[in-house]
A and B are shown apart, each in its own frame.
Chain A
Amino acid sequence: DGGITQSPKYLFRKEGQNVTLSCEQNLNHDAMYWYRQDPGQGLRLIYYSQIVNDFQKGDIAEGYSVSREKKESFPLTVTSAQKNPTAFYLCATADILSGNTIYFGEGSWLTVV
């Protein structure tokens, strides 16, 4: 089955801890994205990557870090520097050469306790 797998679906973090959200895809898409969504709000771009070993900051990159060591994987680390990390995190991929449809994982809910 082709698609995007995000894990974990639900995660609780203590203040001051770093956590890493996993995103794996088998769609062979070059571009991958991380978005954050707060309740009742739209999606805001955190980081994106067009190609392996390269990534760019989105609109709200502060307090987050990413890596793109493999085409299939684009993990997001929420660091302790992110002051308000409780949110819904969505990973997405796209076939950018064709300007085509964006595919989403099912999302990860992060709660700081």
Chain B
Amino acid sequence: RKEVEQDPGPFNVPEGATVAFNCTYSNSASQSFFWYRQDCRKEPKLLMSVYSSGNEDGRFTAQLNRASQYISLLIRDSKLSDSATYLCVVYSSASKIIFGSGTRLSIRP
């Protein structure tokens, strides 16, 4: 079983739609979680950290469920510019950082 599992998609949704991604992790001791965005042929860029209490940044909301060992990302009112691959990231141990395989999102006009 992979340490971090993520639905690969692709998700193809119309502009203005709400879309949600989930990511599960296997190490219950994991402490830090993030969502990164990656555009084609570029390095990943930080989208947001994920906190136990949940956090929001504009149209983006991230949640952590420690009991079920998953993190989620919700994008509301999606824009064409949101089209990208979204990667969940888990600090599997004190220093080992594992990425999910990425979820591809395409927003259509």
Contacts and interface: CB of A to CB of B under 8 A. Distances in A.
Interface of A: 31, 33, 35, 41-45, 48, 50, 56, 58, 88, 90, 92, 94, 96, 99-102, 104-107
B46 interface: yes
In terms of DSSP, what is the predominant structure of the interface of chain A? strand
A104 B34 CA distance: 14
Interface string B37-76: 0000111111001000000000000000000000000000
Contact of B95 (A31, A42, A43, A44): A31
Contact of B87 (A43, A48, A56): A43
A101 B34 contact: yes
Given A43-B87, A100-B32, 9 more contacts: A35-B99, A41-B102, A42-B99, A48-B97, A90-B44, A94-B97, A96-B95, A99-B91, A102-B89
A24 B87 CA distance: 24
Nearest to A91: B43
Contacts of A96: 91, 94-95
Contacts of A105: 43
A46 B61 CA distance: 31
